[in-house]
Structure 1
Amino acid sequence: MKKSWARLLSISALALLAFPMAVETSTIQADDSPTYKVGEPLFGDNYATVVGSAVDDANPNVSGGSVLGVGFVPGPLTLNQVPIFDFGIHQLGSSSKYSLQEITSADNLPAMLPDNHGGDDTAKGGNRSLVVTDTRQAQGSADGYTVSLTFGPLIKVESTTSVDADGNAIITPKIVDGSFVPDPSGAKITDAHLEFSNAKVSDGADWNTFLAGSADTKYFSGGTGIYPAFYNAADFDARKPITTSDNRLKDDTKASFQMGQNISQDGNGIDIFGASKTEGYATWAYDFTNSTSAYLAMPTQNGGIWVATLTWTLTSDPATLPNG
């Protein structure tokens, strides 16, 4: 059915250009209407329109008409990925709060674009990112959303301590089927809190300016970065960096934004990221690449390894937003 529909489009090219809706509907039955999936061509295997008109004295100018088409399938509001916060192993009592561990793999770090790059060239963002996609409606007509974060109790896991050949103290957690094993003591810590650094929003800047020309860990001016990105459901992989481009950063859609920056363990979710109505369309990344983008403050510190569950909750069309 797609092939015959494409041929009708080709034959009626001039009419389509002038009157896009005035296709010869009397020749098309209801069951002739084509259906498409993402990635499929709109016009089947038809790639050109035959014109065959020659220029001569009587006809010094000739014209031909073809068609251009593109389609987009609306999608859902999607929580694509959430970051893992690794605050590392430290000497007990060495500080009151700890920054995230630095990302050491270049594959998971943002990268500068080369000089003289084009606006559509792909820019590699960071891997440790919260990513949300809103493609429910047309650009400028989104309903808005929030992402809240709940910080669960830090639970002690089974581990043993020892000394290596060089005299360094080491700690070894018990892992079963890829998971930590809770310590039999049932010990918990519930007075810690997370602190997020101020976020830098792209605001139309090109990618290299947004990264502040940094080749070290101070991406996004030492805090977190919020920027529009690309998302493809077919190949999205949370182990790989997010991508964007200068043109995407200059999108006229208003940005998603940072909200709460201090999350305690009281069991209440705090809104930490959101978009107002008509804003935050398509994919936005809240990038925690920088090790100073988040801190774990711990008034209570006890020996061992402690892990907590972070619950990130995406909510559609929130009732109130700070700038909505």
Structure 2
Amino acid sequence: MKQTTKMGASLSAALLLLGIAGQFGTVNAATTTTIEPALKGVPGVSSNQESGSEIDATHITNTPDANDHKNDKGTGWSTAGIGFAPGNLTLNQVPNFDFGKAFTIHSGQIDFNMQTDAKPLTRSLVVTDQRSDKGGPWVITAQLEDFKKLDNDNKQTSTTMGSTDATHATLTLTGSADNTGKGAYLVPGLWNENAAAGTTKYTTDPNGDARTNKPEQLGTIALAANANKATNLWQANADNGSGTWGLDFSKATSATLNVPDSLQKQGDWTAKINWTLQNGSVN
């Protein structure tokens, strides 16, 4: 399986703010670069009139009434057409998780929530599957690197928090059945790559309730910092997940961070999350 990627954004900020190294990209590309006439060669459509009009006797019938012209009739028929082609499997965007700073070290607090709720859909993990009518299978994995200390210019240094297999910071992502819960919830959406500047490319699908081929709901997933392998995070089984879907992490409680007391060190720290979208099912 070959995957083509675009470089993702890497954000650094303050204590317990996670930066993102997102692997944005497309899997199994099959794009259509030109728009071809849908009516070319279709029976009943006059040659060279795919974008024109039908005027000949085959398409237009006029019936005059010799005795009473009030009953004269005219009927005609033309054709409308459109075609759709399969597209790509794409990782559209990945979320940041900001847990704030200026906490006092060794205060007894080891669990942290994000500081504020976000505007709906703005802190989301978004996938678009255009490969078939039903979609799937696909899976997203995530891997949390160790936290690194920031210098005075908010750039990561080589100094790590020191997470090990036995003692590590843990980012926990929690799902919810709908937007009334505390976790991230599944949103059928629309992705407009050509959205105007200043507007969002990701919006809610107004007809989303009719979409039944859904990806899986997010459960409770714990990402240990500095782990040696990626964690299966979110998936769509075969014949599911077609179109654009997002996990909306707008609730502050949809992600928590645990930093053991022994790892709490003075300074501001960030960790990158590597997200990968793959074609296929969970192994």
TM-score (norm 1): 0.62
2: distance between equivalents of 1:238 and 1:77? Answer: 25
The reply to whether residue 132 of structure 1 matches residue 132 of structure 2 is no
The partner residue of 1:264 within 192, 206, 224 is 224
Question: Secondary structure of the residue that 1:70 maps to in structure 2?
Answer: coil
1:119 maps to what in 2? none
Unaligned runs of 5+ in 1: 17-22, 29-41, 111-125, 159-172, 202-210, 212-219
Question: Secondary structure of the residue that 1:73 maps to in structure 2?
Answer: coil
1: distance between equivalents of 2:95 and 2:198? Answer: 9
The partner residue of 2:144 within 140, 151, 159 is 151
2: distance between equivalents of 1:6 and 1:287? Answer: 37
2: distance between equivalents of 1:271 and 1:237? Answer: 34
Is 2:148–2:270's contact at 8 Å kept on the other side of the alignment?
yes
Aligned residues: 232
Note the C-alpha offset of 1:188. 2.3
Q: CA RMSD in A?
A: 3.3
Structure 1's 85 and 7: CA in aligned 2 closer, same or farther, altered over 3 A?
closer
Structure 1's 241 and 98: CA in aligned 2 closer, same or farther, altered over 3 A?
farther
1:198 maps to what in 2? 175
Structure 1's 187 and 143: CA in aligned 2 closer, same or farther, altered over 3 A?
closer
Counting only pairs closer than 5 Å after superposition, residues 212-251 of structure 1 correspond to structure 2 as: 220-235=180-195, 240=200, 242-251=202-211
1:276 maps to what in 2? 237
Question: Secondary structure of the residue that 2:181 maps to in structure 1?
Answer: helix
Note the C-alpha offset of 1:231. 1.1
Is 2:143–2:229's contact at 8 Å kept on the other side of the alignment?
yes
Structure 1's 280 and 6: CA in aligned 2 closer, same or farther, altered over 3 A?
closer
Note the C-alpha offset of 1:295. 0.3
1:88 maps to what in 2? 100
Question: Secondary structure of the residue that 1:249 maps to in structure 2?
Answer: helix
2: distance between equivalents of 1:195 and 1:305? Answer: 20
Note the C-alpha offset of 1:274. 0.7
Q: Deviations over 1:198-257 (max 9, x none)?
A: 3225xxxxxxxxx4xxxxxxxx42211111100123338898373123312321323343
2:111 maps to what in 1? 97
Richer in helix (by share): 1
1:215 maps to what in 2? none
2:251 maps to what in 1? 290
Is 2:186–2:247's contact at 8 Å kept on the other side of the alignment?
yes
1: distance between equivalents of 2:184 and 2:39? Answer: 52
Unaligned runs of 5+ in 2: 1-33
Question: Secondary structure of the residue that 2:97 maps to in structure 1?
Answer: coil
Richer in strand (by share): 2
Structure 1's 193 and 76: CA in aligned 2 closer, same or farther, altered over 3 A?
same
Question: Which of 1 and 2 has higher RCO (CA within 8 Å, sep 6+)?
Answer: 2
Note the C-alpha offset of 1:284. 0.5
Structure 1's 291 and 255: CA in aligned 2 closer, same or farther, altered over 3 A?
same
The partner residue of 2:64 within 46, 49, 56 is 56
